[in-house]
Amino acid sequence: MDNQQVVKPEKKGRDLKDEEKVEMREGQQLYEMVQSAGWKIVRRWLDDRAYHSWVDPRTIEGAEAEKEWKWRELNAFHSADVAKQIMDDIQRMVDRADYLGKVASGETIEAQRMKI
Amino acid 46: pLDDT = 96
Q: Report phi then psi at 75, rounded to 5.
A: -65, -40
Low-confidence ranges of the chain (pLDDT < 50): 1
Amino acid 54: pLDDT = 85
Stated pTM of the model: 0.77
**62-96 core/surface letters (b: 16 or more CB in 10 A; e: else):** eeeeeebbeebeeeeeeebeebeeebeebeebbeb
Amino acid 10: pLDDT = 65
Contacts of 93 (CB under 8 A, 6+ apart): 23, 26, 27, 30
Domain borders along the chain are 18-105
